[in-house]
Structure 1
């Protein structure tokens, strides 16, 4: 049974930063913060799914006012316990629908967080919510992987992404519904424990249509935060949609 924090309760929050340590390294964080700070300009930033503050804290350290929305109180508690965390406003709620005060020059979702919304309707609501928070000319930025269906031969539904002596991790896909799940089998004291988290994968063109529904238009799409060109071989994309100035 899930608690009020959904799939990112205390058990996940307690080990989240250590489990994703490579994402907290400067080479992973700095390009993200550089681009978001550039887009924010003299305005404020809104992070949807702020988590433990991997991006929000260094962005705020650049002088950008940051507000976050997140459903997990356990993750937010980790953010607030970090240096500078008490200076970032956080609203606990569903980032697809929760509204906060103010207007922002940039809103953003990083590291596949859009996939945490497990229905198309919720993802459309997220775009509408981001657009409602943006000032005219503001940008909505999403970082998300390209679904790895090309790696699935006929009859196979799983793609492994981590194999260590103590953990096996793999994603499963249902091409009929765009449902996917990330599965983790962890060996603790000789016993295997299995956990899984559901997602909904989404294609770039589908995201563009969601943006149009929300009144946004595609401005840029890159392969990564370094603004490398997006191609048919790219495994993820960083997309920027713009709210019209009028």
Structure 2
């Protein structure tokens, strides 16, 4: 893995679409693209953490001009190799602070990517960066899980989220610092390989405060891209903050 690619270098990029195949199925992609296309309207969209283009490519295929920001050249190379990849402009850089030319109707972060920013300061910077790119009345959209701390009994710091014959995956949490890591153990030929990716978990109310610091206000919050109601039992949320139109 190259240092310039952060935690998403060649070894991760080469397997990403296969390892996250469930997130590439139409049932996971189409509702997100529908909502984002509706918010974009006649404007352009900016994806922070564009990766291999899971959302950017089908959104661009709907006729929405899409630009992406990503630190990983290896992930972006996969996007470029796909049909329509040349239609999505990409800037290589830290999506918390990187600025690109143009004004956007919608800026978005999907699939827990806000957590890849591992400090509160970086997450606050990300909201400010999103707001700076939005046209008046534009929206910043974030899809992220609700921290699963209710699943932690006293003395436990790990929560499994994938278990199978070829390996398993689990998250670990530090409830003091809000630091967490996703750990992946893969079994190949009877030997285990381990990798981990750090995150910072963040609560919906904390995100709302970050939005207010950036001059945005919460407009909608749903459980998922189908606009199911967000409740105390929801495991994730899709939140929409708007920039004042005036």
Q: TM-score, normalised by structure 1?
A: 0.99
Q: CA deviation at 1:87?
A: 1.3
Who is 1:37 aligned against? 37
Q: CA deviation at 1:119?
A: 0.1
- Three-state SS of the structure 2 residue aligned to 1:46 is strand
Q: CA deviation at 1:2?
A: 5.5
Measured in 1, the distance between the counterparts of 2:141 and 2:127 equals 10
Measured in 2, the distance between the counterparts of 1:10 and 1:2 equals 7
Alignment of 1:1-246 (within 5 A): 3-246=3-246
Q: TM-score, normalised by structure 2?
A: 0.99
Give the gaps of 5 or more residues in structure 1: none
Give the gaps of 5 or more residues in structure 2: none
Q: CA deviation at 1:166?
A: 1.3
Q: CA deviation at 1:104?
A: 0.1
Q: CA deviation at 1:237?
A: 0.2
Measured in 2, the distance between the counterparts of 1:167 and 1:130 equals 37
Measured in 1, the distance between the counterparts of 2:241 and 2:82 equals 31
- Three-state SS of the structure 2 residue aligned to 1:17 is helix
Deviations 1:196-217 (A, max 9, x none): 0000000000000000000000
- Three-state SS of the structure 2 residue aligned to 1:155 is coil
Measured in 1, the distance between the counterparts of 2:112 and 2:88 equals 22
Measured in 1, the distance between the counterparts of 2:231 and 2:28 equals 21
Measured in 2, the distance between the counterparts of 1:28 and 1:168 equals 22
Moved >2 Å (runs of 4+): none
Measured in 2, the distance between the counterparts of 1:96 and 1:137 equals 21
Measured in 1, the distance between the counterparts of 2:163 and 2:138 equals 41
Measured in 1, the distance between the counterparts of 2:20 and 2:85 equals 19
Report the count of equivalent residues.
Answer: 246
Q: CA deviation at 1:178?
A: 0.2
